[in-house]
Chains A and B, each alone.
Chain A
Amino acid sequence: MTLPATIALGDARVGFRGRITALDLSRAPAAGLEPPELERRLIELGFVEGASVELLHQGLFGGDPIAVRVAATTIALRRREAMAVVVTDRP
């Protein structure tokens, strides 16, 4: 049995589909907010464990920002904040 491979949403490519497994604030050291506040903001926009995610679009420069479908909502954010969202493409 292999463990599900997880990556940071901030590292995902356009077209990535998966599920959120955790919010790990230590993965987003460059984020513009203190970790507890970033975590609250992410949850308020629907990034909670178990929610489905799909990376829909990205910007021209450095592939930033990204547009992510989280459950039934589309959220735009920068990759450096999306680093805190741990996702897996396994069921």
Chain B
Amino acid sequence: MNVAVDLAPVVALVGNPNCGKTALFNALTGSRQKVANYPGVTVEKKLGRLSTPAGRALEIVDLPGTYSLRARSPDEEITRDVVLGKLTSEQAPDLIVCVADASNLRLALRLALELKQVGRPVMMSLNMMDIARKRGIEIDLGVLARELGLPVVSSVAVRRGGTDALLAALDKQLDVLPRAAAATWRPPDAAGLRSAQREADRVLRAAVRNPGHLDPATARFDAVLLHPIGGLVILLAILFVMFQAVFAWARPLMELISEGFTWLGAAVATLPLPDIIRSFLKDGLIAGVGSVIVFLPQIVILFFFILVLEDLGYMARAAFLMDRIMGGAGLHGRAFIPLLSSFACAIPGIMATRVIDDRRDRLTTILVAPLMTCSARIPVYTLIISAFIPDREVWGFVGLQGLVMFGLYASGIGAALAVSFVAKRFFWRTSAGEPFMLELPDYKIPQVKSLVFGVAMRASAFLKRAGTTILSMMILIWVLASFPQPPEGATEPAINYSLAATIGHAIEPVTAPLGFNWQINVALIPGMAAREVAVGALGTIYSIDAGDGATEKIGEALKSQWPLATALALLAWYVFAPQCASTLAVIRRETGGWGWMGTTFVYMLVLAYIAALLTNQIARALGAV
């Protein structure tokens, strides 16, 4: 115990999902907040500091939303354990603030009754009072406090001064903080929950007039957005714009970043330094950092869209619309957006799986996200297709090259669906599938401040978390491709003397059935840094100078050196292979361990091997040599 370090009282925010807890947290702490992970789990830990009007320094912790302390997911377990003071790594909260949406009190009141049983001081903050008032919901705070037996204040997180009453109440509560009483909370059974909800309904009738009407604006929007057909059409349109944005709008920025790093690398290359240090700086460090940062525009754009949709309340609707369609393959409705994003890049896609509450559904989605054809595969596909697949039409109107490209995309999607189906049936068989049950919150206009916070938090989390792992992998790949150095008077390209080449030769017996020669094996190693790097690596290995038309020249060289079966097998390999160190690093960070990264790596490698093997053998048998 490090007693002397920090004795600021801890205030925990607990509430139902969609109660505006995070908006309140942002309003209270402003920019003095940080996001970390709870040890051993992937649950985000949101901490912030604030000073009360009386000058008291407080630590505020924003706990994952829940309907009950009877935890059903890792997120909710964290909420339960922190509230009960059971988490050894965390200071137990001195005060629990039960945050409730004033326009949707019923379920929050039952949670508040449950929180009363944990033996710690509890108060209630009625958030979004402005919305409740506008909708004609009248709440008597005095009666509510009396009937509930808890101090109650109102707050409007999104308005300046909207948290004054809460801040004053925090001071008042912390002044007279009673000792924590013995916790009487036990996981309630159905009878206990039922009687608690009855009690909550009694409190609601006593203190609130007019509670139950559906928000008219929400009703009007839902009539269109949840329309069985119209809703799906609109969802697809939204997703199309989003996909387009991640794919196309990010491109100029990504090119700018990549050019910037190339320029920096070129600048470093002119420095009067020993060759090996120059190469480390240029090809290891700068290229490595660049390959991470280049994803930033996609991540920022994707998370901007996701947060807007989430804050609007649309995300739950998207899950509603997609549930049945995704459910056939054993995926959750919410997996749709992460998987779609993975067409641009699996990294933002995997990060976006955070919208899936259930851990199993989330892991399944993470597992299959790298099978979606990401943009980094396109240069490799293009190179091989344009070199080996004749540019002619089939059935009179379909281009054969385009058809092969489509086939590669379809294989990825088909494999993702099949793998998730298998994972759901066999991996998770031990317990019943999570039912689809979620609240459809009222639509709300997103707050610019919370959007900016949200995007900035994702971006910095990506740079910090992925950056360290990805960078170290990049350096490892550079070491493999650079050492040992070529001997004096070497005639072949430097990489042919490196460890990568040694590995390439060593695994030749293993890859021979796939039709891969050692040159391909060698190119696959720097290709781990980013899939498209394999194109440049092939150029290096076959000694083709970079420059105008280099890709065409590489294509010609490959055509003269490889049989068609090998080219097709390499395409098949690329559909499945875990050929991206960054993706693996992100999986490790997002799942909180090596296990899931290893699982992904192994199953993709096995699939890739089998696919390439079958492709090569069948193509040979059919005479494609």
Contact = CB atoms under 8 A, between A and B. Distances in A.
Interface of A: 23, 31-34, 36, 38-41, 43-46, 48-52, 56-62, 64-65, 67, 69, 71-78, 80-81
A33 B433 CA distance: 7
B436 interface: yes
A45 B434 CA distance: 15
Contact of B438 (A48, A57, A69, A76): A76
A77 B437 contact: yes
A39 B434 CA distance: 14
Contacts of B190: 23, 36, 39-40, 43
Nearest to B333: A65
Nearest to A70: B106
B61 to A, nearest CB: 23
Given A48-B198, A60-B228, A78 B436 contact: yes
Interface stretch (B7-15, B315-323, B467-475, B553-561): B315-323
A43 B214 CA distance: 20
A40 B191 CA distance: 9
Interface string B186-214: 00111001100110010000000001111
- With most chain A CB atoms within 10 A of its CB, the pick from B70, B189, B325, B436 is B436
B576 to A, nearest CB: 30
Contact of A57 (B201, B211, B226): B226
Contacts of A23: 190
Nearest to B433: A32
Given A61-B325, A71-B212, 12 more contacts: A40-B188, A41-B72, A46-B197, A59-B228, A65-B436, A69-B214, A72-B211, A72-B213, A74-B440, A75-B439, A76-B438, A81-B437
A41 to B, nearest CB: 6
Contact of A72 (B72, B106, B218, B226): B106
Contacts of B432: 32-34
B439 A74 contact: yes
B285 interface: no
For the complex of A and B, 10 pairs with smallest distance between CB atoms:
A60-B228, A32-B435, A57-B226, A72-B212, A43-B193, A74-B440, A32-B433, A44-B67, A61-B324, A39-B190
Nearest to A38: B435
Contacts of B72: 41
Given A31-B435, A65-B320, A36 B229 contact: no
Interface in B325-355: 325
B145 interface: no
B222 interface: yes
Contacts of A44: 67-68, 70, 107, 110, 193
